[in-house]
Amino acid sequence: MNLTGTAAVAAQVGLVTAGAPWLAGLMRQVRARLEGRAGPGIGQPWRDLRKQLRKQPVTATGTGPAFRTAPLVLVATALVVTALVPLASTRTPVSGHADLIVVVALLALGTVALALAGLDTGTAFGGMGASREMTVAALVEPTLLMSVFALSIPAGSTNLADIVSGAVHDPGRLATPTGLLAAVALLAVTVAETGRLPVDNPSTHLELTMIHEAMVLEYSGPDLALIELGAQLRLTVLLGLLAALFTPWGITTGTGWAALALALVLLAAKVALLGSVLAAAEVFLAKIRLFRVPELLAGASELAIARAGFAAGLGWAVTVALVLVLVAFAALTGRSARMLLGPPPEPATPVRFGASVWLPLLAGLLACAALGITTAPLADLLAAAASIGGH
């Protein structure tokens, strides 16, 4: 078990590290083909990394340790998460430490390190990107916790290995409407965490829309290569986690070498398929405004909460809440339709006020005017105005 488990950890870390640039190249190539372009080929990210590693590192003036250590922290946290998440096998030496909260904390550590690096440069773009990144992270991390926590209730544990192992032995619980809710919520979190459309556009450098790119504008050479590799690793491991949780077929729960080899092949195929689908969807999506991102993540969080409610045996409460939401939405839709598309309302009957209503109002207005004119400071103001006007 120790030898096979150690080999499984080393194999999945090596596969993800080597395959992450290929996945980024595959997604770019899929987008290029769907947009009618030839594309640079799926090996272009590897060529870019090799080119950056050969350059001399340049550090911005005035930066401190946060700027210099952020690329290493980003890559290190991504590699540790890759080792912890049961992508190919659930029986590894680190399975006992693969807790959901630990994984989310490691991802958040990499995000915070990069945000601190953006602030450390002292530039306007770095501060803007760091602020936007932390705004998104504050919404992403709780939603990620809730998305996977909804799946941990049937397993009775927040350990990812136990969750995936339970899904392998009982895959029927994933093919349910509540399982679909959790899958959609985790997919939305993956898109936001990795800076993909519609939350962020990884291929843009327009200053008004940048989030991730704004924080790394001051990097070059090997440091930029590490940041690009870290972003690719995070995308690959999150897609792998999505595949492990909702399509766990092929993940080995034993100690066989043949099963481990098959699991690695299926892992590569599933992640490549998910990446291709995500890239194809991005062709038909536009980047949403920054102020609409909380709405997207709030919707994903609500889906995860609904899934957790069903898993906890509170389906009746979730159903009542959803019915009330549907009723409110139907009422709002009907009212809006009548306002926008319905016939014009009938003219209202004019209301006539008698002397008993307007006489007290008129008397009060005259009294206020008399007091304002005859008493200070309005009297002095009017006198000064009259003298200026020459009256």
Per-residue pLDDT of the chain (391 residues; tens, 9 = 90+): 578 888 999 999 999 999 999 999 999 999 999 988 988 889 999 999 999 999 988 887 888 888 989 999 999 999 999 999 999 988 888 888 888 889 989 999 999 999 999 888 888 888 888 888 888 888 888 888 877 777 777 777 888 888 888 888 877 666 666 677 777 778 888 888 887 877 877 776 665 667 777 788 888 899 999 999 999 999 999 999 999 888 888 888 877 888 889 999 999 999 999 999 999 998 888 777 777 777 777 777 777 777 777 776 777 777 777 777 777 777 777 766 666 665 655 665 666 666 776 777 777 777 766 665 555 555 565 565 556 555 4
Confidence (pLDDT) at 386:
56
Q: Could you give the count of Cα atoms lying within 13 Å of 117 in the half-sphere of its Cβ?
A: 27
Task: Give the position of tokens 């990795």.
Answer: 194
Is 219 exposed, middle or buried, given 0-12, 13-18 or 19+ CB atoms closer than 10 A?
buried
The full set of domain ranges for the chain reads 2-313, 364-389
Do 136 and 290 meet the contact criterion of CB atoms below 8 Å apart?
no
CA distance 25 to 166: 34
Helix, strand, or coil here: 37? coil
CA proximity to 263, closest of 382, 88, 106: 88
Half-sphere exposure of 312 (CA within 13 A, CB side): 12
Exposure of 383 by Cβ count < 10 A (0-12 exposed, 13-18 middle, 19+ buried)?
exposed
